[in-house]
Amino acid sequence: MLKGHEKALIFSVLLGLFAAGLDFYLYRLTGLRVFQAVLPFPLVAAALSGLVLARLRLARLSVDEQYVFEQEQSERPDQNLFASDDAAPPMTLGRSHHQFEWVAVPVISALLGLAQLAWAAGLFRWMATAPGNAGQSLVAMSFLVGQGFVFFLVSRFLGGLSEVKKFRLYRGAGISLGLVSILSFLAALGTLVGQWQVLADGWTGKVLAVVLAYLGIETLFLLVLAMYSPRRKTMLGIAYESRAGALITDPSRLARSFAETVDYQFGMQFGGNWYGRFARNILVPLVGCVALVLFLLSSVVVLGPEEQGIKERFGHPVAGETLDSGLHLKAPWPFATIKRVPAKRILNTYLGYVPAAGFAREKVLVWTIPHYRSESMLLVCDTHEGAETGSAAASQVSLLTVNIPVQYRVKDLHAYAYRYADPEKMMHILATRVLMHELSRQTLKDLLIADRNTLSDRLKSRIQEEADTLQLGVEILFAGIHSIHPPTAVAETYEGVLSAIEGKEQKILEAHRYVAKTLPAARAEAAVKRAGARAYAARRKELAPANAILFEKQLAAYRAGGEVYTMRTSMRSMSRALEGRTKYVVDSEKVDEIITIKDEAKFSIPELLMDQLETDTP
């Protein structure tokens, strides 16, 4: 039975030597440094498998020799009549096995650890000068995946044998083969990343060199520790077994160690119960698989519709590697990461206030009601008219509250992402500084009555100039003034002052209105009277000669007609005075007869009287 298992170790030795030779050949063929870095691990696995093979073979041969020796002693008892039962031949395989275990195994372990450290140091020096190469990465990855799979199968077989107590020595060879398997998969991942970046080949080689150096240090440390251990005989024989490698290649070993610790400390049978077996056989492998899946999922990046990404390789941005929104693939963490930038989003910073979610604003905003939950007070100049320059009255300041949202977007991805640690905070500080400078140049009165569109445009242009000077990488889209008002605490008093000022201005405007109304009216009235006087004078001047001629003709008519002229003239005057009125004629002698005259077109009063006069004349 032992001889059959020794064949597995011989196969492991040959597999390690063949894999190392093939790695070296592929390095010469492709130039990938990852093959040069993975090459020592199959050699270490072959050396440990050969050491285990030698130990098992010596143990088997010593047992066979002891069996033959006992058989010979039992067949010739007379020759050993005076010999001691504990006596042994001075040169036997058993004594050689004993010396090999106590001397050769620790020495070989020490030499193996030193060789690993030396090889790791040589790898570091070589990789610092060797040129990188990304050629034939897919072929190399395929071979490394196949190499890892083969070593995985052999390591699981030897690991399963090591669970049996009499085959305990197989564990060291199984751990070394399992490490070759895992590191081959890691090297394959490095070559996959090398499809996008040549540096991945060198970094993968450095990681493998670090692992090799750690294995050498761990071997030497365990060897020194075993020399001072109470179980020195046992510990020296397994000093070459990597404890970290055992946990990596067989995660269930950690669960078993935990179960054994619980059983020892608390007297429980955790490892033998169903939940212990569940944790060892299912839970731990499941956690390992989930961790592996999460690691692989770090290669998938989804950028939102408002985002752009900058690819970083080991913390450094890659020139020209800018990703738009959507699904992208990259090397897994920590080989590559994506720095997200909201390049297509309208960003906001708020000057003078902090908008708070859930704050109920009034529908009608006045100075005495807070516009936002948190508002800042800013200093502005408050000069007085007539104050001398440099006096205390000319240098007074007032407090003012402003609400100014500033909207901007990213126009330079790298400048915004890397020039400042917190670009949003830097943008807020920059805009606040520009606002303070602008407020210091104007008085409180000017700000309250200023054209807000003009002030907003000026703020926007100045913030853009400052952002360009500091290379912030943003474009200012809007800087609007929602409100400018005194602080809420003094708003009521300030309204009283403004009311008095408004009353004063109202009186002045009313006086101007009265002056504007009265002066034109007076001027018009004077002009009308002057024009009337001139017209009256002109009329009197023109009528005077006509009246003189009329008087002369009336005088001639009077001299000619006498009483008749006087009567007719009197009647004509009466007719003009009573024109348009109803007349009633009453005869003094015939009082019961009344003559009503309504239509003067038929006859006139003078004619009526003259007719009556002619009738009464004899």
* pLDDT number for residue 280: 60
Q: How far apart are CA 93 and CA 260, in angstroms?
A: 37
* pLDDT number for residue 555: 82
User: How sure is the predictor about 63, in pLDDT bands with cuts at 50, 70 and 90?
Assistant: confident
pLDDT at 389 over 50: no
Per-residue pLDDT reduced to its tens digit, 307-342? 888 888 777 887 777 888 888 777 777 777 888 888
pLDDT at 82 over 50: no
Q: How far apart are CA 144 and CA 167, in angstroms?
A: 30
* pLDDT number for residue 328: 79
Which segments of 309-451 does DSSP mark as H helices, in order? 413-418, 423-440, 444-449
Per-residue pLDDT reduced to its tens digit, 496-553? 777 787 888 889 999 999 888 888 888 888 899 998 888 888 888 888 888 888 888 8
Better pLDDT: 131 or 564: 564
pLDDT at 4 over 70: no
The total of other beta-carbon atoms located within 10 Å of residue 173's CB is 31
pLDDT at 469 over 60: yes
Find all residues with CB under 8 Å of 431, minimum gap 6, and list them. Answer: 349, 351, 406, 463, 479
Per-residue pLDDT reduced to its tens digit, 220-237? 888 888 777 777 767 777
* pLDDT number for residue 265: 56
Query: If residue 11 lies in a helix (H) or strand (E), which one and from where to where?
Result: helix 2-30
Using CA atoms in the order 353, 357, 358, 362, what is the torsion angle rounded to 10 degrees? 30
Per-residue pLDDT reduced to its tens digit, 411-454? 888 888 888 888 899 998 999 888 888 877 777 666 766 677 88
pLDDT at 135 over 80: no
Contact 301, 323 (CB under 8 A): yes
Closest by CA to 481, choosing from 392, 378, 562, 610, is 378
* pLDDT number for residue 197: 55
* pLDDT number for residue 331: 74
pTM of the model: 0.49
User: How sure is the predictor about 31, in pLDDT bands with cuts at 50, 70 and 90?
Assistant: confident
Residues of the chain with pLDDT > 70, as a percent, come to 71
Angle at 212 between CA 208 and CA 214, to 5 degrees: 115
* pLDDT number for residue 451: 72
* pLDDT number for residue 387: 46
Q: How far apart are CA 57 and CA 6, in angstroms?
A: 8
Find all residues with CB under 8 Å of 607, minimum gap 6, and list them. Answer: none
- Average pLDDT over all residues of the chain: 76
User: How sure is the predictor about 136, in pLDDT bands with cuts at 50, 70 and 90?
Assistant: low
pLDDT at 198 over 60: no
Better pLDDT: 459 or 189: 459
